[in-house]
Amino acid sequence: MSAVPFIEVKPLTKAGFAPFGDVIETEGAEHFAINNGFTQRYHRLAAVTLAQAEDEAIVNIFVSRRWEHPIQLAMLEQHPLGSQAFIPMDKQPFIVVVAEKADNGSPNTLHAFVTNGQQGVNYAKGVWHHPLLILAPEQRFLVVDRSGEGNNLIEVDLCMALQAQIDLQTLIAEHIGA
């Protein structure tokens, strides 16, 4: 039996995720009609932030595979030069793991959330987060992030005191029924 504790995975909400970035969803969002009333525009769901004037916001598609059960949370990454948004294309829930920052900027307390399958997230610039964690065997994401000069990826291994596990089998049963 592993000494690494399981982390509680909470439903993703705008209020709960606010310290780490934006929840990208239409519920409760400002919207208005465009295209002669045939389209509703859900406006400014998240803002792409870039550190340098010469940076560009780019759009990518990521295809991710599911991690093995239980998921071991032993590392985190951050992007110090720009925000990074993940929008699910397959309407499947996914897990979001983020960390508060200690006074020295290193990751501290972990937080885990599960989306409803229609929510995306925009990690604020410099937020510690885990790479994509999905419940389905494979999932596609539209990703908006930064392209430009400089290193925009920092990875750290977590000390044993910060490491945790996620009970993937229970989340799969609760959220996708497979």
Range of the domain at 69: 9-175
Backbone angles phi, psi at 117, to 5 degrees: 95, -15
Residue 168 CB contacts under 8 Å (≥ 6 apart), including other chains? 66, 67, 68, 69, 70, 71, 135
CATH number for the domain that contains residue 68: 2.60.120.480
**Mean pLDDT, the chain, whole residue set:** 88
Total tally of structural domains belonging to the chain: 1
Model's pTM, two decimal places? 0.86
| Residue 29 maps to a domain | yes
Which residue has better confidence, 42 or 116?
116
| Residue 2 maps to a domain | no
| Residue 4 maps to a domain | no
| Residue 36 maps to a domain | yes
| Residue 171 maps to a domain | yes
pLDDT band at residue 57, thresholds of 50, 70 and 90?
A: confident
